[in-house]
Amino acid sequence: MRSTISEKGQVTVPKRLRERLGIRPGDRLEFSEEHGDIVLRKANERDPVSAVYGILRLDGGTDETLRAIRGEADAV
């Protein structure tokens, strides 16, 4: 598949490729160079923290869990 770069440096990803890879309007893409070739990848928009947020299930609430891990707070 081929595409032509516009005067503004823009390029159109061919429709068949967009459909096959699920690239939709508004998606972000990453460009890189590898061994003299241009490589285009779908950008990973998901924040690494968001990817794991909520996967840990605890029986008690936050306070109980922290008390179990840290022990009781010392009196000041």
Q: Domain limits at 24?
A: 15-70
The answer to whether the pTM exceeds 0.75 is: no
Number of domains in the chain: 1
Phi, psi of 30 (to 5 degrees): -110, 135
User: What pLDDT was estimated at residue 33?
Assistant: 96
Task: Kindly state whether residue 45 falls inside one of the protein's structural domains.
Answer: yes
User: What pLDDT was estimated at residue 11?
Assistant: 92
Give the pLDDT band (50/70/90) at residue 20: very high
Give the pLDDT band (50/70/90) at residue 76: low
Task: Kindly state whether residue 21 falls inside one of the protein's structural domains.
Answer: yes
Task: Kindly state whether residue 48 falls inside one of the protein's structural domains.
Answer: yes
For 24-72, what is each residue's pLDDT tens digit? 998 889 999 999 999 998 887 777 777 788 787 777 788 888 888 888 8
In three-state form (DSSP H/G/I as H, E/B as E, the rest C), the secondary structure along the chain is CCCCCCCCCCCCCCHHHHHHHCCCCCCCEEEEEECCEEEEEECCCCCHHHHHCCCCCCCCCHHHHHHHHHCCCCCC
